[in-house]
Structures are given as C-alpha cells and as structure tokens.
Amino acid sequence: MAYDYEKFKDVVFQMTKIDLNAYKERQMKRRIDSLITKHGYKGYEDYVSALRTDRAMFEEFVTYLTINVSEFYRNPEQWQVMEKDIVPELIGKFGKTLKIWSAACSTGDEPYSLVMALSRHIPLNMIHITATDLDKQVIAKAKVGLYNEKSIAAVPEDLKKKYFTKVGLSYQISDEIKSRVEFKEHNLLDNNFPTGYHMIVCRNVLIYFTEEAKDEVFRKFYTSLAPGGVLFIGSTEQIINHREMGYDRKSSFYYEKPAK
C-alpha cells in the first residue's frame, strides 16, 4: 500500500478533525480495512482519493467511524437512580432550571430520554438539553426523531403512550419532547468544552478510546461541570482514578464534582 496506516490517520485528521490516535488501534483499523474492502479499493491512498471527491462516501465514512449504537433508557435501572435520586438532588442544589449536556448523543435516544426523565420533576417548558455529536448524519437523524420498536423498548409505558406515535413500523417522538433539545456538532477530542453544567451524560462512547484519551475527556468533563454537578457514564465504563481527578463517586455510574 502506498499509504501506511500512520499516514492514513494523519490525512483523516486533516479531512475530518477526527484523531484516530485516540481510538484503540487494532479495533479501529479492522473496521476501516473492512470498509475499504467493501468498496473494492486497493488500499488507503485510493480510498482517500474517493473520500475527497465523493461526498456521500465521505459522510458514510464519518458515520462509520463514530460508532452509533444507542437506545432509549439504556440500562433502565440506572435511569431509575437518576429519576429517584439524582434529579431531585440537582433540583435541590440548583433549582429547576438545570443546565444539562448530552455528549456524543448519537441518534438522539439519550437526550430525548433525559427530557422524559426530567419531565417527572420539571415542567417541559423549563427543560433544555444541549446534545452534541461530531457526526452530522446522526444529528440529522436525531432531529427527525423516528425510531424502531427495539430502540424504545425500555421506555416506561406511560411515557411511551404519551410521547410516541406509531408511523408504519416505526415510532415518532413528539414535537414537545424534540423542542426541548438543542443539537450541535462537537468533537470530544477537541479542547473547546463548554462549562457550567449541572449534569453531563456521556455513555458507552469512551470504551472505544485509548486509556489516555479517556482520562483527558473525563478531566475536561470535570472542568465543564459546575461545583456540585454530576457526570453520568455508561455501564461498560468506570473512572478508575476518579479521586485523583477530583470526582466523588455517588454510585456505580454517577460521579460528582464536589461543591466548593
């Protein structure tokens, strides 16, 4: 191959600002090689030439890199902890105007789940979620808000009846939920992180990152949280050195930035 994988990573960063060095190499290289083979290209250089000229292929590539596996109320017991304990505590500290960030939000399942969970405690018109992802295609899909039956299987029945409408074999989430979420592009590997959040939710994304990249993101989330704010991570993740970073561990998947 005229390009080796190291050069390919550099070119991808120039084109997309996605730093493949932050991902587990063997896993990511295997994914990319299979994509190149699928399209019948001889190697990295030919594939890069196609990415530069074929917009649809470029968008497919970015979507393929940003591994989008999501569902509503994933790991329902953790959402029960949020509804029963975390949200009431945050309201007690900060009032009902909570500043919440759903990072690496994928197809919108997570931020929309957040709106519904919050709606048990806060009037809908007071809820605002900032949801970010680096993939334009999944953000576009999230804004449409159309999901299959499997995606919404864990949504509590009362919320499912209230906020979803069956459309053919799919389910459309209501505009009153969609209107509470603001979608933006953001790359977790950038240094530009917003601040002052009362809760940040980032689940089952960092498992694909190297240990160094994970640590960097968790430290940046700490800076993004307001004192007393909470980070909610996925069931496959843990912050081993959370004390050194400054977090208190509230429960298995909730970490708090102590109030000053």
How would CATH label the architecture of 76-143+176-256?
3-Layer(aba) Sandwich (3.40)
Structural tokens at position 249: 């561990």
CA distance 204 to 42: 33
161-164 long-range contacts, CB within 8 A, separation 24+: 163/116
Overall pTM surpassing 0.85 (yes/no): no
Q: What is the pLDDT of residues 78-107, one digit of tens each?
A: 999 999 999 999 999 999 999 999 999 988
Q: What is the pLDDT of residue 67?
A: 56
Q: What is the pLDDT of residue 177?
A: 97
CA distance 77 to 238: 17
| 158: Cβ contacts below 8 Å, ≥ 6 apart | none
Instruction: Band the pLDDT of 1: cuts 50, 70, 90.
Output: very low
Q: What is the pLDDT of residue 66?
A: 61
Q: What is the pLDDT of residue 86?
A: 96
CA distance between the termini of the chain: 55
Lowest mean pLDDT among 11-15, 204-208, 216-220: 204-208
Most confident of 15-19, 60-64, 116-120: 116-120
Mean pLDDT of 66-86: 85
Q: What is the pLDDT of residues 207-256, one digit of tens each?
A: 878 889 999 999 999 999 999 999 999 887 889 899 999 999 998 899 99
| Positive/negative CA dihedral, 183, 184, 190, 196 | negative
**Residue ranges matching CATH 3.40.50.150 in the chain:** 76-143+176-256
